[in-house]
Amino acid sequence: MTITHLVTHSGGFHADELLSSVILTRLFPEAELLRTRDKAWITPSEDRIIYDVGGDFDATAQIFDHHQRPNPLREDGQPYSSFGLIWAQYGRDYLSAMDVPEKDVDAIHGSFDRGFVLPVDLVDNGAVNTSEAGPLFSGMTLPVLLESLKTVFDDRTEGADDRAFMAALPVARAFVEAQIRRKAAKFRAEDMVMAAIEAAGEGRVLDLPMGMPFRAGVEKAEADHLLFVIHPRGEDWTLTTIRIGDDTFDNRADLPAAWAGLTDADLEAASGVTGAKFCHNGRFIAVANSRDAVLKMAEIAVKEALA
């Protein structure tokens, strides 16, 4: 039966039902989003999805509340909010609606659940406190920011809460969709990096068709022999290093010390490469004006690194 209504509670709102609404309104764009506590509406029916209200969780009956006891828990015992319940049920369909390739759906579904949905679930249930982010950042967490879009306490004009909710919905949507697009892009990049690694063979330089996240693919392929990466950037070409981890600036190999901080003619003289334009003082990126020039710089950098 066609879903005609998406039903959540009226009054003030939290991040979980707001973010749930992001998912559901994309999947059921013709359905009316109804905010109410009317018993008639929060009673399961084939034509509606009820979430964050109703005192029950039954995916088959399309009701997704988490306030009842016992409350729904993940396999590891961590509590769900309505967002987690909706994501578990409809997240894969949402990713397909976002044109995520089928081969990447499960991986992105799990990654988004762990990194985005679970924190919202935990905050909503009081399992963690945003103050754990520290006094400087506690007010900058996503749940707090989204809930700051609620009406102020003394705005009691008719429909104020509903207007605030609907105004907050596109803000929440922007965050969700940006996260999904970035995750999907990382998977596309990984495919391109894997192809470039295969093309590189035993060579020490990874030749990419454009700038992109590459380290995850390099590590997944266990391509430990690679030392540097080249790719075009506008009309120039860049030569970059490969960091050894997320929490460090140390590289598998640095660019030559003699190049550090030099530009144009000075860098050409130091490197012996016509077309060399710039090398960062930190020796993690250099720029040349052509592919031939950057390949020559890469060859020199590899030779020095292996010396």
Q: Is the model's pLDDT at 159 over the cut of 90?
A: yes
The DSSP line for 151-210 is PPTT---TTHHHHHHHHHHHHHHHHHHHHHHHHHHHHHHHHHHHHHHHHHTT-SEEE-SS
Residue 246 has what pLDDT? Answer: 83
In this predicted structure, the answer to whether residue 1 has a pLDDT above a threshold of 80 is no
pLDDT digits (tens, 9 = 90+) for 10-38: 999 999 999 999 999 999 999 999 999 99
Percent of the chain past pLDDT 70, that is, above it, reads 100
Is 35 strand, coil or helix?
strand
Looking at residue 135, its pLDDT comes to 87
Tell me what pLDDT residue 19 has: 98
- CA angle, residues 229, 195, 278, in degrees to nearest 5: 15
Q: What is the mean pLDDT of the chain?
A: 96
Please tell me whether the peptide bond between 70 and the residue prior to it is cis, using omega within 30 degrees of 0.
yes
Confidence tier at 66 by pLDDT (50, 70, 90): very high
Sorting pLDDT into bands at 50, 70 and 90, what band is 247? confident
- pLDDT for position 304: 96
DSSP 8-state assignment for residue 130: G
* Per-residue pLDDT, 267: 98
Model-level pTM? 0.87
Angle at 90 between CA 88 and CA 92, to 5 degrees: 85
Q: Per-residue pLDDT tens for 95-113?
A: 999 999 999 999 999 999 9
Encode pLDDT of 115-140 as tens digits.
Answer: 999 999 999 999 999 998 888 988 99
Give the mean pLDDT of 224-252.
95
Q: What confidence category does residue 8 fall into, taking pLDDT thresholds of 50, 70 and 90? A: very high
Q: Decide if pLDDT at 5 tops 80.
A: yes
